[in-house]
Amino acid sequence: MGIDPWIIWMAIGVICVIIEIFTPGFLFLSFGIGAIITGGASLLISSIPAQIAIYAVVTFVLFINLRKLSKKLQANSGAPTNIDALIGKVGVVVKEVSADTRGYVKIGGEEWSALGVDAGALASGTKVKVTRVDGNKVIVTAEIKEDA
């Protein structure tokens, strides 16, 4: 007598779930959960072709649903990071900035190389807003204060 089918299905399921821990995308998770559910069903259904059919259907349904979940999670994680997180931040000019002369601005305690958007120069001490990032420098414009 060999190994019971439910043990094989459960082992496949556990192995796939462990693999999923180290890979993104929920692919192996759908295979693992499908195998675990099929392992439970194999206690009631002894036909191997029926078990394979159950495994295929359950895995397919899980894959489709987990794929949708994966895409939603990836879409929601689009917060800007690194230098792109500076866009919209306000800083103070440390060394004069103009459209043709690179200067420096202090943003959040760090100094960044900067160029101005406007033709006029922005003197030291001027509050500026980062409009975009170009390579390793920020492009700034004078901050316009709105009266409340």
Alpha carbons 99 and 137: distance in angstroms, whole number: 12
Taking the alpha carbons at both ends of the chain, their separation in whole angstroms is 84
Alpha carbons 23 and 46: distance in angstroms, whole number: 33
Residue-wise pLDDT tens digits, 120-142:
788 899 899 999 888 888 999 98
Q: Tell me whether residue 77 is exposed, middle or buried, using C-beta atoms within 10 angstroms of its C-beta: 0 to 12, 13 to 18, 19 or more.
A: exposed
Domain 82-142, CATH homologous superfamily name and number: Nucleic acid-binding proteins (2.40.50.140)
- Residue 115 has what DSSP assignment? E
Model-wide pTM > 0.75:
no
| Residue type at 138 in one-letter notation | V
- Residue 44 has what DSSP assignment? T
Residue-wise pLDDT tens digits, 74-119:
776 666 667 778 888 999 999 998 888 889 999 988 899 999 887 6
* Segments of the chain assigned to CATH 2.40.50.140: 82-142
Do residues 40 and 6 make contact, with C-beta atoms less than 8 angstroms apart? yes
